[in-house]
Homo-oligomer: A and B are copies of this chain.
Amino acid sequence: MMEPGDARLPVFNNRDPVYLQVVRHFKVDIATGRLKAGQTIPSRRELAALMNINPNTAQKAYKEMEDHGLIVTEGNSPSRVTSDERILGAIREELIAESVDAFIASVRQIGVPVDELLDIVKRKYETAMAGEKEGQP
């Protein structure tokens, strides 16, 4: 059963631990502005239900985000996205850097000339983002 809101949820892959994929999910939401400074986020239990993961995994993800200053939790009130703009501002670049680094690690051995590589990325990326706006993201 897919809930309406599930559409945006990350499709879990096999490599990274689930709790880190959850963290990444929040980072993406912050980087794209879907989640803003100070905004409340679901409780551990709610998130576990929403994402169909174990509450312990949700807890672990929130712990990770708290340790890195991404979210703050005061007493019994719901956790909130930090208001520290330095942290928030860094997330987007951090996400991009991660992806780019992994990408480069995988192509560097092939020795593709920069221009050719950029051409291919450009073409494929524009195709992908064009499709984004329509039906299947």
* Interface SS of A by simple majority: helix
Copy number of this protein in the oligomer? 4
Cβ of A91 to closest chain B Cβ, rounded Å: 10
User: What is the 8 Å Cβ interface bit string for chain A, positions 89-114, against chain B (1 contact, 0 not)?
Assistant: 00010011111111110111111101
For residue A137, CB closer than 8 A to chain B, the reply is yes
Once the chains bind, are B99 and A28 in contact (CB under 8 Å)? no
Cβ of A44 to closest chain B Cβ, rounded Å: 16
Q: Which residues of B contact A110 (CB under 8 A)?
A: 28, 31-32, 92, 95-96, 99
Chain A residues packing against B (C-beta within 8 Å): 14-15, 28, 31-32, 67, 92, 95-104, 106-112, 114, 117-118, 120-122, 124-126, 128-129, 132, 137
